[in-house]
Amino acid sequence: MSSKLRSNFEEGSTRWAVRRAQWIAMGIDEADFDKPKIAVINSSSGLSVCYQHLDALSVVAQEAIKAAGGLAFEINTIAPSDFVTSAGKKARYLMPTRDLMVNDIEVMIEGAVLDGMILLSSCDKTTPAHLMAAARLNIPAIVVPCGYQLGGNCNGRSVDIEEVYKGIGTLLTGNMSLDDMKGWTRCAIQGPGVCAGLATANSMHCIAEALGMALPQTTPVRAGSDRLNAIVQAAGQQILQLVAKDIRPRDILTEAAFQNAVRVAVSIGCSVNTVRHLAAVSVEAGLDLDMVKMFETESAHFSLITQIRPNGPDRIEDLDRAGGTNAVLHRLKAQLNTGVQTVAGSTLAEILNEGVVVDEQVIRTVENPFRKEPGLTIIRGNIAPSGAIVKLSGIAVANRTFKGPARVYEEEDLAMQELAKGNIVAGDIVVLRMMGPVGGPGTVFACSFMAALSGAGLADTVAVVTDGELSGLNKGITIGQVMPEAACGGPLAIIEEGDVVEINLDERRIDLLIPEPVYQEKMCNWKMKDRVLENNWLKFYADNVMPIEKGAVFGKRN
């Protein structure tokens, strides 16, 4: 195998000589130089609990690679956290960090010419970034989702990060004391890992397995557990098999695999952000897929078979105990493309031939779903001609139609202030715009306002329509990722304060109720306001980011 490895340079060449000198000085045994060289991508950080445990897992991975006959190299990258890196510039740095990480990985892997990757994935942006990097570089790779955190108990009440997030609305409206909130923050997180619940991080962990890029029966998993250590060790061993057999990400990331992932996402009520992230992975995989259309098409044929928070009362650890993503795949088996390849070295059909015990109280059959509609769907209309995403599983069944006056804001803080003053009331439709990838620049948080609405008891009576970033923890009448975004001339840009907006979930429509000639005139006359951006990473992002329906990856915009 060693003679075929791209990492083994010609003896006597400059590259061979200087690298050899470097590695000898580092104490690497010369006998190891011809072995497969495997990167352990470690987005460790001391800023966030999401990454607190990754250094120890990296050691486990490196030792497993060595035991399996490989030479391991740890590579550290940036480590964005949605609850920490969101503090600066109204969270504008968050989405751009995903693509920065992809390029970070490319530079280190391709610059050094390594043979394979173990990608230790944690918070929201790391799993999609790792999938994107694997798709782009197309060298043998395994994504290892590194687990969820547990919540705690505060004065007899179960409290996790979702409760803290929503509680800000309760605090703003005077229905909770600051001391109570401080108490919640002391007990909301018990241990390392990503947010409890089926938010974006856990959603993307499950999606990685559904795509076949994570080992079977590995998601979700509790961070800090012996089981997670065993999963990392198994990945360290398996990556050598993928190198030997030359099984690459683009052998796995096929259109059929993406269909499987979308079917899982709509069936369990994953985060709305899975749409943009899967679109980005498909672009990096070189596929010409309309991911918005795929979600729209597939959602018509699937119903909600789990009710994991924020979609219902069950917790992420309940999904774990019930069999996790593997059990969901078993439930959907008849509706999946089971001939697809996986990083296990076997097909999905072979994986699903192995028996599994499924807890029907948590994961129902397709014949007996919790709700006879998908967890996610796409709606369109004259506000969202290219589509918008609705998490149906986060909306009360009774809320099928909604019509009201628009309250228009281009800064989330202003909307939060109006909410605190009591100026946003039942029946309003809050429009949060100029918050997309181009408009931000860098996608701006709209999710904190949605969480505050929930805490204020208004999530079922006030609708939110936005091109900004939502959280998988959000629930309520939320129309997210409106496409095209306002800054790209999308119709969201022409809505004025007091305009009537109508949402009809049964018909999958969202419309601005103004005469068609007026609508067309406004669309023709709208122009982006002049702005001067600082010469920094966000300006580079704004100048190069593709439309969000294309996953907001880098490229040339039309």
> Are residues 258 and 347 located together in one domain of the fold?
yes
pTM for the model: 0.94
The rounded Cα 344 to chain-centroid distance in angstroms is 23
| Pick from 7-11, 317-321, 449-453, 519-523: least confident | 449-453
Quick: pLDDT tens for 47-104: 999 999 999 999 999 999 999 999 999 999 999 998 898 888 888 998 999 999 999 9
Asked if 212 contacts 342 with a C-beta cutoff of 8 angstroms, the reply is yes
> Are residues 396 and 543 located together in one domain of the fold?
yes
CATH code for the domain of 201: 3.40.50.2300
Which residues does residue 401 pair with via DSSP β-bridges, in sequence order?
504
Query: What is the predicted pLDDT for the residue at 166?
Result: 80
State which of 307, 337, 352 marks the end of a domain.
352
Residue 140 confidence class, pLDDT cut points 50, 70, 90: very high
> Are residues 307 and 385 located together in one domain of the fold?
no
Q: What is the mean pLDDT of residues 503-513?
A: 97
Quick: pLDDT tens for 163-203: 888 888 888 888 899 999 999 999 999 999 999 889 999 99
Q: What is the mean pLDDT of residues 524-541?
A: 91
Asked if 62 contacts 72 with a C-beta cutoff of 8 angstroms, the reply is yes
pLDDT of residue 359 exceeding 60? yes
Does residue 45 belong to any structural domain of this protein? Answer: yes
Q: Which of 81, 271, 386, 471 is catalytic?
A: 471
State which of 352, 368, 390 marks the end of a domain.
352
535 or 213: which leads in pLDDT: 213
> Are residues 476 and 398 located together in one domain of the fold?
yes
> Are residues 244 and 325 located together in one domain of the fold?
yes
Asked if 120 contacts 54 with a C-beta cutoff of 8 angstroms, the reply is yes
Asked if 378 contacts 387 with a C-beta cutoff of 8 angstroms, the reply is yes
Q: How many CA atoms lie within 13 A of 550 on its CB side?
A: 18
Does residue 29 belong to any structural domain of this protein? Answer: no
How far is 211 from 200, CA to CA, in rounded Å?
16
Residue 451 confidence class, pLDDT cut points 50, 70, 90: confident
pLDDT of residue 2 exceeding 60? no
Residue 419 confidence class, pLDDT cut points 50, 70, 90: very high
Is 471 a known active-site residue?
Answer: yes
Does residue 283 belong to any structural domain of this protein? Answer: yes
Q: 5-38 burial by CB neighbour count: b if 16+ within 10 A, else e?
A: bebbbeeeeeeeeebeeebeeeeeeeeebebbbb
Asked if 352 contacts 338 with a C-beta cutoff of 8 angstroms, the reply is yes
Phi, psi of 479 (to 5 degrees): -110, 110
Does residue 369 belong to any structural domain of this protein? Answer: no
State which of 333, 352, 371 marks the end of a domain.
352
> Are residues 407 and 309 located together in one domain of the fold?
no
CATH code for the domain of 461: 3.50.30.80
Two tokens at 546?
């593709």
How far is 547 from 485, CA to CA, in rounded Å?
8
Sign of CA dihedral 384, 389, 393, 396: negative
> Are residues 145 and 68 located together in one domain of the fold?
yes
Q: Which of 126, 77, 141, 102 is nearest to 554 (CA)?
A: 102
Does residue 420 belong to any structural domain of this protein? Answer: yes
- Judged by DSSP in three states, 157 sits in strand
Does residue 6 belong to any structural domain of this protein? Answer: no
> Are residues 98 and 217 located together in one domain of the fold?
yes
Phi, psi of 96 (to 5 degrees): -60, -25
> Are residues 417 and 279 located together in one domain of the fold?
no
158 or 129: which leads in pLDDT: 129
> Are residues 419 and 523 located together in one domain of the fold?
yes
How far is 546 from 443, CA to CA, in rounded Å?
12
Does residue 171 belong to any structural domain of this protein? Answer: no
pLDDT of residue 558 exceeding 60? no
pLDDT of residue 1 exceeding 70? no
How far is 246 from 242, CA to CA, in rounded Å?
6
Pairing, β 376-379 against β 478-483 = unpaired
**H or E element in which residue 416 lies:** helix 412-421
How far is 244 from 116, CA to CA, in rounded Å?
10
Please, what is the average pLDDT of the chain?
94
Domain count, the chain: 2
> Are residues 335 and 392 located together in one domain of the fold?
no
Tell me the residue range of the domain where 264 lies. Answer: 35-149+192-352
DSSP 8-state secondary structure symbol assigned to residue 148? B
> Are residues 438 and 530 located together in one domain of the fold?
yes
Does residue 172 belong to any structural domain of this protein? Answer: no
pLDDT of residue 556 exceeding 70? no
Quick: pLDDT tens for 246-281: 999 999 999 999 999 999 999 999 999 999 999 999
